[in-house]
Structure 1
Amino acid sequence: MLKINLLESWQSQTIDEVLQSKFFSKKVLHLLRMNKQITLNGEPIRLNYKIDQTGELILPDVIDASSDYARSVRFCDVVYEDDYVAIVVKQRGVKTHPNEQHELNTLMNHAMNTIDSDYLEPIHRLDQETKGLLILCKHPYVKSTFDTMLDQRLISRFYIANVHNNESLSAQTIDLPIGKDSTHANKRRISNRGQQAITHIVDFIDYNNGKFPILKLDTGRQHQIRVHLEAIGHSIIGDPLYSESHLRNLALCAYKIEFVHPYTEDLISVEIPLEDIDFLND
């Protein structure tokens, strides 16, 4: 079940209208309309109830609310957590999730061993070589909310990188479609037949006598930042696929996430301290 603390700003709306504004799917809304186990402050209500009080709304599970990731014996770093989501740090060299059931050494296996929730699912992924922040949802209803927020660009994701020829790099928007590279199974390339991909170089940080670009994603294509920076002549240092590096030491970190929380209306802004990003301190 999902517990939601009703906000004063939702007064005079129906429960149905609030859940629609949180991007609940039509299927889930239909099943909830037929359900008789919805309660507000312990009293049964229906979705057409017009909110006239604050308190605890409890929505029963009308779809599967468990994840099947095996628990590892390791832990992950949790930098933010509430009743709805957790934001965790994925380390470089660790996959976001397993591709095979027997895999245990992925971020999701470690998260299941760290966070007290039967359901945990990421709304986005990071390349195995990339360290950074990931949002994990604790209930499928919440995941539907955050999936749509990501699609509608209501969640800001910022990266920091160390690139070749950085002295000539300037703030700009890179709007180049990305598709599969037919010559290399693991690579992507700029392709007119590919999917739209937009990366913004929004700022630079001067740190430890270096200049490092800050990048913001509008879309989340596989290897997007790596492909875009290579395309404009500023490949990421340590990238074995898109530069001449022979080391898997990618100087890229998803270091900041920011959004207005859909269930509390608080501004959530989380970042990895610069001193914890290894390539900035080499």
Structure 2
Amino acid sequence: MTVNQHTVTETEHKKRVDKILSDLLHEHSRSQIQSWIEEGNVKVNDEIVKANQKCQSGEMISWEIPETKPLVLDPENIPLDIVYEDEDLLVINKEKGMVVHPSAGHRTGTLVHALLYHCTDLSGINGVERPGIVHRIDMDTSGLLVVAKNDFAHQHLSKQLQEKQLKRIYEAIVHGEIGHETGLIDAPIGRDPKDRQKMGVVDSGKPAVTHFRVLERFPKYTYVECQLETGRTHQIRVHMQYIGFPLVGDPKYGQRKSLDVHGQALHAKQIAFIHPRTEEWMEFEAAPPAVFTEALDQIRKMY
């Protein structure tokens, strides 16, 4: 492994070592860097440190990037709510709390592990870690997503996604009373320069468009429907926070005081697309989980 070095600058004085490295190494996540630190691959002045150690200007940070271990995914017998299935694809109603594919902090128990148990074949376009995954929804977002069983289906569905033909409609509960019936948010989304773990509306971001309409209005909350025109990471969560109406329960972009809905109150309720083989227009809908409807009932009782 190659040893890399960086001298702490005046502007980095008293910053955490993991923050300095995450700002330097944009291609690696902060959680990855923290795992290197835990494994002893990062040193300050030749001494092993903890992730929260604050550095002094002039100190030398040295690090080695460990070799990537080949990922072997074992099928796991995890129940799936399969809304539709044929030889080319599946439509899954993902439960709240399930991660879609493996990542640094989630090596087991993902939707991919469950799919590998259920299916003998999944498309290989997205590699070993994301077989069949055409698009994602966040861990604490429930609802519908389409999975490709073969490369033919994957290519067609991905093309529909790129050409904005694949329809995705969500429902959400947000803080604040939205006064108008409908709205359009057209604001680019990229990595937040102040916090690499978050996304934000930034000039250098990728184009992002969200349409929304009010379903029900309360003095301090609004029940809305959102339709994605693009599919950026955390798009609805970032856009609604950007216009001043953050999602209820959102731990990353929401308010500190919120209803307990175990993560953001966001549900992918509808998905529609052209079937890759039959060219039939297909449309699916799923009701939100109990925690979502119970939160709505709680708000209705308040007012």
TM-score of the superposed pair, with normalisation by structure 2: 0.65
Aligned length: 214
Amino acid at match of 1:205: L
Superposition pairs of residues 35-50 of structure 1, within 5 angstroms: none
Which residue matches 2:21? none
Deviation, 1:128, is 1.4
Correspondence 1:142 to 2:156: no
CA contact (8 A) 1:237 1:245 kept: no
Q: What are structure 1's unaligned runs of at least 5 residues?
A: 1-66
Correspondence 1:172 to 2:183: yes
Q: What are structure 2's unaligned runs of at least 5 residues?
A: 1-70, 124-130, 296-303
CA contact (8 A) 2:169 2:226 kept: yes
Residue deviations 1:99-151 (CA, integer Å, cap 9, x gap): 25982210111122223435451110111121111110000121111111110
Q: 1:267 to 1:170 in 2, by over 3 A?
A: same
Which residue matches 1:272? 286
Q: 1:101 to 1:184 in 2, by over 3 A?
A: closer
Which residue matches 2:93? 89
Which of 203, 211, 223 is 1:212 aligned to? 223
Residue deviations 1:25-46 (CA, integer Å, cap 9, x gap): xxxxxxxxxxxxxxxxxxxxxx
Which residue matches 1:252? 266
Counting aligned pairs with the same residue, the percent is: 30
Which residue matches 1:53? none
- Secondary structure class of the residue paired with 2:174: coil
Correspondence 1:234 to 2:245: yes
Which residue matches 1:160? 171
Distance 1:100 1:239 in 2: 22
Superposition pairs of residues 1-150 of structure 1, within 5 angstroms: 69-99=73-103, 103-119=107-123, 120-150=131-161
- Secondary structure class of the residue paired with 1:104: coil
Deviation, 1:70, is 2.3
Distance 1:110 1:162 in 2: 29
Give RMSD over aligned pairs. 2.6
Deviation, 1:250, is 1.0
Distance 2:105 2:211 in 1: 36
- Secondary structure class of the residue paired with 1:168: coil
Residue deviations 1:50-108 (CA, integer Å, cap 9, x gap): xxxxxxxxxxxxxxxxx964211212110011111101022222111002598221011
Residue deviations 1:207-244 (CA, integer Å, cap 9, x gap): 9xx85211111111111101100011110000111112
CA contact (8 A) 1:180 1:187 kept: yes
CA contact (8 A) 1:160 1:255 kept: yes
Which residue matches 1:199? 210
TM-score of the superposed pair, with normalisation by structure 1: 0.69
- Runs of 4+ in structure 1 over 6 Å off: none
Distance 1:131 1:153 in 2: 22
Residue deviations 1:179-204 (CA, integer Å, cap 9, x gap): 11122221111111111000011x33
